[in-house]
Structure 1
Amino acid sequence: MASDEAARTSCDVVVCIPTYRRPASLALLLKSVEAQSYLKVFCVVVADNDSENPSVPGVDIPPGLKSRFHWFPVEERGVSVIRDRLVKYTLDNFPSAVWLAFVDDDERPIAEWLDLMVATGNRYPSDIVGGPVIGRLPSKVPFLARYSLYSSRRRQVTGPVEMVNGTGNILVSVDFLRRLGRDPFLPELGRTGGEDYEFFLYAKSRGARFVWCDEAIVEEEVEPSRLHSISVLKRYLAISAYQARVDKRYNRFPQMLMILLMRTK
């Protein structure tokens, strides 16, 4: 499903959304994207990794997005595959696009999100702009969940930074993606995790300039099943495992171990 040709050829930013079995959540996200205060033309591309009907999207498209909405199915499973397809679709179909934004299907950006991200990307020399993802948790959750990454990931001061974390709220220069020299996300990491971490390290090795926009907040609805203490511990173990594998690939000191050592000083 493709949008209006005039919008496609004039859009400044492409908002890319990978989705998998979250139609209700995706519908809410699309409404929040429709409500963006960004004044220039932006388009929305949804890649569906579990579509039973490959000819139509599984949600109602908000009226304000219909002329700028693109949707396509991705049969091969894996978060790396779907994100790489979104990047390729953007590079192939939006000749005037300057930025590609990633946001997840269980998230809700504030109305000024795109304005703030693009303004920050334009203010500083940058190839990748990151922003905070804040979890919206129930009032009663286990202690570990309350102070885990599901509540709030690492935040930084707005401006140039060494690195950003996660693809749930990022803006990437289309020109940088064209110069990257490979698909951004490695398929072999798509099921184990770490594809975003590896992409950032690879981008850094290619000279990427990272910037943070702490005001461009995205809220995440966290599924209750992920908030049990044992689930939180398993999540941290998985993160430390994939980061160790990726760090080894780049001859880096294991980041999780470095964090632990710093906290013991």
Structure 2
Amino acid sequence: MTRITVAAATRQRPRMLADLLQSLQGLDVPQGAELSFVFVENDVILSISGLVDDFHKRTGWPARAVHEPRQGISYARNAIIDAATEDGADWLAFIDDDEHVRHDWLRLLWAGAKDANAQLAGGPVVPVAPAMGCSENETEVLAYYERAAKVSNMRKEVAMTSGRRFDIGAGNWIADLSAINVGNLRFDPDFGLSGGEDTDFSRRAYKAGLTLAWVPQAIVTEEVARARLSTAYIVERARAQTITKFQIMMAESPKTAKINALAQILSKGASGLLRIASWPIFGRYSYHRGYRSLGIAQGLLAGLRGESQARYTQVTGD
């Protein structure tokens, strides 16, 4: 019997975590597998024990709460890997605390990984409106996120088909735990507050020889907090993510990273301004893409200056 551990890290978002647990209790159990669950509280105190205990009582599945007081998503996810290893898991699936799963999510994700003989596999994360609804302007930003996610997912599917490398995010992720441990793969604490730790992990896993797979049928939905439904957040998120990506670029190829960054600053700046100016012709998606391009240019410039950022010090959502 194969043991699959499903896990999530959380911090100060009890309502969202409760909604995730509600969706997880409807999971199909894949044939030939048994389930267990680990939830890590990445905060100064452990406050999720009651929610996790209630989940265990409702489902009968083994579930435990783990406390990781060192702030940073990398520490939390590494604590999950260690806990799943201690529990004797064969496979480890990650989900985020602001997401919901379909009943067939885990069955499809695991099957897709096995069919591809992959040790690391991921699936789409589809953004949805916040529980309390959103304004007209926020709805436009949400539509941008939805379309951007579709484009990203299609590119990953094409990359897998053509044998090219692609990155797998930890919001919808399953891994062969023995392969992770044999390769001594962990999330880098240097990216724990900035984000991008899963991109870095995915690329190091690929370099270590793990086979990656994309499973488009294994869909999860992500509730987008209202604080993220603004043009200003699109810019800041793109800037923050790009600083981290620049740091990864520097680690991979320091000789070319700076030259590529300078070229992209010019191209992204120019294309961003053009997209914003032409939005009456091409629509609001082009408008938001333009601001994202400006955020990327800002992030590359900040990276060249040696700046860092700590996007995950502030909690959005509840």
Which TM-score band applies after superposition, normalised by the shorter structure?
A: 0.7 to 0.9
1:29-80, Cα deviation, whole Å (9 max, x unpaired): 1121110112431111001112635693456623343441111111111100
Structure 2 contact 122–174 (Cα < 8 Å) conserved = yes
Question: How does the TM-score come out when normalised to structure 2?
Answer: 0.71
Change (3 A) 1:157 1:76: same
1:30 maps to which residue?
Answer: 21
Separation (CA, whole Å) in 2 of partners of 1:198 and 1:179: 18
1:80 corresponds to 2:74: yes
Change (3 A) 1:48 1:150: farther
What number of residue pairs does the alignment pair up? 249
Select which of 103, 115, 128 maps to 2:107. 115
1:215-257, Cα deviation, whole Å (9 max, x unpaired): 1110001110111110111101111111011111011766994
Separation (CA, whole Å) in 2 of partners of 1:181 and 1:223: 34
1:20 maps to which residue?
Answer: 11
Where in structure 1 are there 5+ consecutive unaligned residues?
1-9
1:192-219, Cα deviation, whole Å (9 max, x unpaired): 2221111111111101211001011100
Paired AA for residue 31 in structure 1: Q
Structure 2 contact 41–48 (Cα < 8 Å) conserved = no
Paired AA for residue 32 in structure 1: S
Structure 1 contact 23–59 (Cα < 8 Å) conserved = no
Q: Where is the helix percentage greater, Structure 1 or Structure 2?
A: 2
1:7 maps to which residue?
Answer: none
Paired AA for residue 46 in structure 1: F
Paired AA for residue 167 in structure 1: A
1:106 maps to which residue?
Answer: 98
Structure 1 contact 14–42 (Cα < 8 Å) conserved = yes
Select which of 168, 175, 179 maps to 2:182. 179
Any residues of structure 2 matched to 1:188-199 within 5 Å, and which? 188-199=190-201
Separation (CA, whole Å) in 2 of partners of 1:67 and 1:151: 36
1:69 corresponds to 2:63: yes
Structure 1 residue 106: deviation in Å? 0.5
Structure 2 contact 53–63 (Cα < 8 Å) conserved = no
Change (3 A) 1:59 1:118: closer
1:152 maps to which residue?
Answer: 149
Separation (CA, whole Å) in 1 of partners of 2:44 and 2:101: 24
1:41 corresponds to 2:34: yes
1:6 maps to which residue?
Answer: none
Separation (CA, whole Å) in 2 of partners of 1:150 and 1:186: 30
Separation (CA, whole Å) in 2 of partners of 1:54 and 1:108: 21
Separation (CA, whole Å) in 2 of partners of 1:116 and 1:139: 35
2:123 maps to which residue?
Answer: 131
Where in structure 2 are there 5+ consecutive unaligned residues?
272-318
Identity among equivalent pairs (%): 24
Structure 1 contact 135–151 (Cα < 8 Å) conserved = no
Select which of 201, 206, 209 maps to 2:208. 206
Separation (CA, whole Å) in 1 of partners of 2:111 and 2:176: 13
The 3-state SS of whatever aligns with 2:54 is coil
2:249 maps to which residue?
Answer: 247
Change (3 A) 1:64 1:51: farther
Aligned CA RMSD, in angstroms, stands at 2.7
Structure 1 contact 20–50 (Cα < 8 Å) conserved = yes
Paired AA for residue 20 in structure 1: R
Q: Whose Rg is larger?
A: 2
Structure 1 residue 188: deviation in Å? 1.3
1:4 maps to which residue?
Answer: none
Separation (CA, whole Å) in 2 of partners of 1:26 and 1:11: 26
The 3-state SS of whatever aligns with 2:235 is helix
Paired AA for residue 196 in structure 2: G
1:168 corresponds to 2:171: yes
2:221 maps to which residue?
Answer: 219
